[in-house]
């Protein structure tokens, strides 16, 4: 049996003609494939060149035009005038002093040695360093000196130095030197805002730089008969603060005295408008002169320029009892049976023990002193165990709801960079002993600004506004570009709660621990605080933060001040260290603004 029969297939051998036809068909198929591949390759390359052409002509055209312009022109910068900063009354706090910067184009300098001598002598520069700059042809332009005086520029303008030119480059000037230095902030060498209001509102203050364009050859030499093109600069906008320089100056004088009198590590003070939380003054001492910034000592500069009122946190101590009392009164008015009524008597025991931790009153309760206190008396005497009772009675959830309403553990929203949010332990992880301490201002850390705002919101009817440093932004012709209006953030307590609480806090100043803030004829209210400091998780012996938060008039709060003295030596109670500072500050404001005594006296 044959192979074909075994496979069931009958195979026929192709004739020579058929084989030839097959070969031609195969060759044509290969040719068509090669032609297709070549066509696709050509099409791809064409599309690639077309895309590149499109990119150069459409997408890249502006940059190429700029490069071409840059090759054949040289620009003398025309710096924009930086906007001024004023206080709320229009008093200039940050402005500009005329100054100039001197530049050179090495390729256009004809006699480097001679010109270096003239520049070095006129601008009080090193001859060798100036000569090196004039000989540096790797850069089209180089700065010889920044912010030199008009007199210095006059010395070189008549020398007709080739390749040397100058441009207006004003120097930032602060008429009051160190006044509100941490609030205003300062600018960098290039004139942009580095800290404070100068930084936060830099987009408005900076303006837009212009220039004068000159046609040159490829090596940077001016073309004879070329016409200059002038692009005008757009000056920056002006900023009007809510800060009143009279209050700021007064507060700095008072706190400077406290700093030296108590040999303190640092002192701070903030004054708020209770009605809308506009900041009237912010004081951080020690300070520095904004016209003589210690740029060569960065550690010192960072320490002195830091606005601790916004950026640093501390345990507030007894001043925090304002918040605890407000929460308790509000809950009592809402019918919460756990809240203490204003006339309810606290236990006369001097201590409370929670989770094995004993919390003591500062007084020994001898001879029945502080026994059977009401809420008003507990505030007067600043007795810690009473506020432990309040916190535990209200419970974690209720009390934490109030802490959230008073914005603890979150930013206040002030228009200033670097605001801290404080430290508030999560409710879910809070031990009872820690929670008990929050009631009198321990185991919680706040910024001074947070405490001032929360206190204001507790006594102004319960309205919490975002604090603000800027009132408006306007142009040189007086047109207002932007108004920063008060922004209501939250409601904290009701009007009746504020009225009751304010009456109690007025009693603290009249009869209690805040007596040294009392002003005859004026209804001053407030609360003292004395907090121990911690280092490495332990109480630091002999180190305290003395504070007082007060306001007036008590029946219609207008001005609130928080005073902090950090690590006073000798006396350290807030009642003896901080409260007198607030009294001096309020008396100064009363005199400066001609505020009349309260009707019927205090």
- Is 156 strand, coil or helix? helix
Of 169, 191, 224, the position where a domain reaches its end is 169
pLDDT at 222: 55
Structure tokens given for 77? 């910068």
Digit-coded pLDDT (tens) for 164-211: 878 778 889 999 999 999 999 999 988 899 999 999 999 999 998 877
Instruction: Give the mean pLDDT of 537-566.
Output: 94
Task: Please indicate, yes or no, whether residues 152 and 272 belong to a single structural domain of this protein.
Answer: no
Beta bridge partners of 268: 284, 564
Of 169, 194, 216, the position where a domain reaches its end is 169
Task: Please indicate, yes or no, whether residues 420 and 512 belong to a single structural domain of this protein.
Answer: yes
Task: Specify the range with the lowest mean pLDDT, choosing from 61-65, 105-109, 350-354.
Answer: 61-65
Q: Say if pTM beats, i.e. exceeds, 0.85.
A: no
Structure tokens given for 321? 């009892």
Indicate the number of domains in the chain: 2
- Is 413 strand, coil or helix? coil
Q: With both helix axes pointing from N to C terminus, report the angle between 112-123 and 127-134 in degrees, rounded to the nearest 10.
A: 130
**Mean of all residue pLDDT scores within the chain:** 88
Q: Is the confidence at residue 228, as pLDDT, over 70?
A: no
Taken in order 15, 16, 20, 26, the sign of the CA dihedral is positive
28 domain-assigned:
no
407 domain-assigned:
yes
Task: Please indicate, yes or no, whether residues 259 and 163 belong to a single structural domain of this protein.
Answer: no
12 domain-assigned:
no
| CATH for 356 | 3.40.710.10
What is the band of 2 on the pLDDT scale with cuts at 50, 70, 90? very low
Task: Please indicate, yes or no, whether residues 250 and 160 belong to a single structural domain of this protein.
Answer: no
Task: Please indicate, yes or no, whether residues 164 and 257 belong to a single structural domain of this protein.
Answer: no
566 domain-assigned:
yes
Instruction: Identify the CA nearest to 125 among candidates 156, 162, 168, 157.
Output: 156
Range of the domain at 126: 99-169
DSSP string, 312-364: --B--GGGGHHHHHHHHHHHHHTT-TTSPPTTPPPP--SEEEETTEEEE-SS-
Task: Please indicate, yes or no, whether residues 422 and 511 belong to a single structural domain of this protein.
Answer: yes
Longest Cα–Cα distance of the chain, Å, equals 139
Exposure b/e, 334-359, CB count within 10 A at least 16 = b: eeeeebbebeeebeeebebebeeeeb
384 domain-assigned:
yes
564 domain-assigned:
yes
Task: Please indicate, yes or no, whether residues 413 and 268 belong to a single structural domain of this protein.
Answer: yes
Residue 268's φ and ψ, nearest 5 degrees, are -140, 155
Residue 263's φ and ψ, nearest 5 degrees, are 50, 45
Task: Specify the range with the lowest mean pLDDT, choosing from 67-71, 90-94, 303-307, 316-320.
Answer: 67-71
Cis, bond preceding 286 (omega within 30 deg of 0): yes
188 domain-assigned:
no
Task: Please indicate, yes or no, whether residues 482 and 575 belong to a single structural domain of this protein.
Answer: yes
What is the band of 7 on the pLDDT scale with cuts at 50, 70, 90? very low
Establish whether 318 is a catalytic residue: yes
322 domain-assigned:
yes
Residue 223's φ and ψ, nearest 5 degrees, are -80, 135
Instruction: Identify the CA nearest to 531 among candidates 556, 502, 567.
Output: 567
Contact 272, 279 (CB under 8 A): yes
Of these residues, 181, 278, 318, 546, which one is catalytic?
318
Of 139, 169, 199, the position where a domain reaches its end is 169
Task: Please indicate, yes or no, whether residues 113 and 249 belong to a single structural domain of this protein.
Answer: no
Task: Please indicate, yes or no, whether residues 161 and 257 belong to a single structural domain of this protein.
Answer: no
The C-alpha angle 111, 114, 117, rounded to 5 degrees, equals: 140
| CATH for 117 | 3.90.1310.10
CB atoms within 10 A of CB 51: 11
What is the band of 367 on the pLDDT scale with cuts at 50, 70, 90? very low
Q: Running DSSP on this structure, what letter comes out for residue 234?
A: B
C-alpha span between 471 and 273 (Å, rounded): 13
Digit-coded pLDDT (tens) for 285-340: 999 999 999 999 999 999 999 999 999 999 999 999 999 999 999 999 999 999 99
Q: Is the confidence at residue 71, as pLDDT, over 70?
A: no
Task: Please indicate, yes or no, whether residues 494 and 349 belong to a single structural domain of this protein.
Answer: yes
- Is 371 strand, coil or helix? coil
């Amino acid at each position: 049996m044959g192979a074909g029969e075994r496979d069931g297939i009958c195979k026929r051998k192709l004739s020579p003609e058929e084989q030839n036809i097959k070969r031609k068909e195969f060759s044509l198929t290969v040719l068509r494939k090669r032609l297709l591949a070549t066509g696709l390759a050509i099409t791809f390359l064409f599309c690639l060149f077309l895309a590149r052409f499109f990119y150069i002509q459409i997408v890249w055209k502006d940059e190429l035009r700029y490069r071409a312009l840059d090759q054949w022109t040289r620009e003398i910068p025309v710096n924009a005038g930086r906007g001024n900063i004023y206080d709320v009354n229009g008093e200039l706090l940050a402005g500009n002093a005329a100054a100039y910067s001197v530049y050179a184009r090495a390729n256009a300098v004809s006699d480097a040695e001679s010109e270096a001598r003239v520049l070095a002598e006129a601008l009080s520069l090193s001859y060798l360093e100036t000569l090196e700059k004039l000989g540096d042809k790797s850069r089209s332009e180089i700065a010889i000196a920044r912010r030199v005086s008009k007199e210095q520029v006059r010395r070189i303008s008549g020398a007709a130095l080739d390749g040397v030119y100058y441009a207006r480059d004003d120097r930032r000037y602060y008429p009051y030197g160190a006044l509100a230095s941490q609030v205003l902030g300062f600018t960098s060498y290039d004139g942009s805002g580095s800290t404070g209001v100068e930084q936060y509102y830099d987009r408005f203050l900076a303006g837009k730089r212009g220039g004068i364009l000159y046609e040159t050859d490829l090596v940077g030499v001016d073309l004879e008969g070329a016409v200059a093109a002038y692009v005008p600069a757009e000056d920056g906008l002006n900023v009007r603060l809510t800060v009143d320089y009279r209050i700021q100056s007064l507060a700095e004088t008072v706190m400077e005295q406290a700093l030296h009198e108590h040999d303190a590590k640092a002192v701070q003070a903030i004054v708020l408008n209770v009605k809308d939380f506009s900041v009237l003054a912010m004081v951080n001492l020690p300070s520095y002169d904004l016209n003589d910034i210690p740029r060569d000592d960065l550690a010192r500069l960072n320490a002195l320029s830091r606005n601790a009122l916004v950026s640093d946190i501390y345990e507030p101590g007894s001043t925090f009892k304002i918040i605890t009392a407000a929460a308790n009164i509000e809950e009592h008015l809402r019918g919460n049976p756990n809240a203490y009524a204003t006339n309810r008597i606290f236990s006369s025991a001097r201590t409370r023990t929670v989770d094995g931790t004993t919390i003591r009153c500062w007084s020994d309760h001898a001879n029945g002193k502080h026994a059977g206190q009401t809420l008003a008396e507990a505030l007067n005497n600043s007795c810690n165990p009473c506020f432990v009772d309040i916190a535990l009675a209200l419970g974690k959830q209720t009390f934490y709801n109030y802490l959230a309403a008073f914005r603890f553990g979150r930013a206040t929203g002030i228009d200033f960079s670097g605001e801290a949010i404080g430290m508030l332990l999560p409710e879910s992880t809070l031990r009872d002993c820690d929670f008990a301490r929050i009631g009198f201002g321990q185991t919680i850390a706040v910024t001074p600004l947070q405490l001032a705002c929360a206190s204001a919101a507790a006594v102004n009817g319960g309205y919490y506004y975002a604090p603000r440093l800027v009132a408006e932004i306007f142009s040189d012709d007086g047109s207002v570009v932007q108004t920063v209006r008060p922004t209501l953030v939250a409601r904290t307590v009701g009007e009746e709660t504020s009225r009751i609480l304010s009456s109690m806090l007025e009693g603290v100043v009249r009869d209690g621990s805040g007596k040294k803030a009392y002003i005859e004829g004026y209804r001053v209210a407030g609360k003292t605080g004395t907090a121990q400091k911690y280092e490495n998780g332990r109480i630091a012996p002999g180190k305290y933060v003395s504070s007082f938060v007060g306001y007036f008039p008590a029946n219609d709060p207008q001005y609130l001040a928080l005073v902090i003295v950090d690590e006073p030596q000798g006396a350290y109670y807030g009642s003896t260290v901080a409260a007198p500072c607030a009294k001096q500050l309020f008396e100064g404001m009363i005199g400066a603004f001609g505020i009349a005594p309260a009707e019927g006296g205090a």
